[in-house]
Structure 1
């Protein structure tokens, strides 16, 4: 019988350490011309993904679509890392309409 990672429940490591490692794992995500146009903010029980508009390549990506897709790849990498540690994903996309740089927040379940 196969057991899923999320079914095992959280491991015994501190959540803050796991969140930091998830943000670090996201650095391996592919991005448009390897610009890594994201920033992570690690809180005690949550992880925020922000777009770093300074890294947008206006000549290559005038609408910023590839920038957002790149951030989505980083979010996916972070979520896989969290799931592998037994922390299921609960993500709120675009959580603050007054903060357009904040793309997603992952909170603890």
Structure 2
């Protein structure tokens, strides 16, 4: 990002913060709270939505599971160390079919052709 664009965005944010009475401490507290929530998350989507595993399952996770994705797929690294890695790590955020039936197709079905 070029310096002029950055300065313009910073000036805009400062004006909006002053307009709504938001202080830097408020922003810092909100960021700290977000970081605490991220650390307590057991499940995370590719878009950053999280769930601690407590309470009702969020809609994004219900939809992914009903589309054929496993709950373990969304486990945050470190939350479930009991399952060993079965192969190379795959970045599912770049997969346009992640969470769809196409992502859950079994290799035995394709070998039968």
Which TM-score tier does this pair reach, normalised by the shorter chain?
under 0.3
More strand, by proportion: 1
Higher helix share: 2
Q: Could you tell me the TM-score, scaled by structure 2's length?
A: 0.23
> Rg: which structure is higher?
2
Question: Could you state the TM-score of these two structures normalised by the residue count of structure 1?
Answer: 0.24
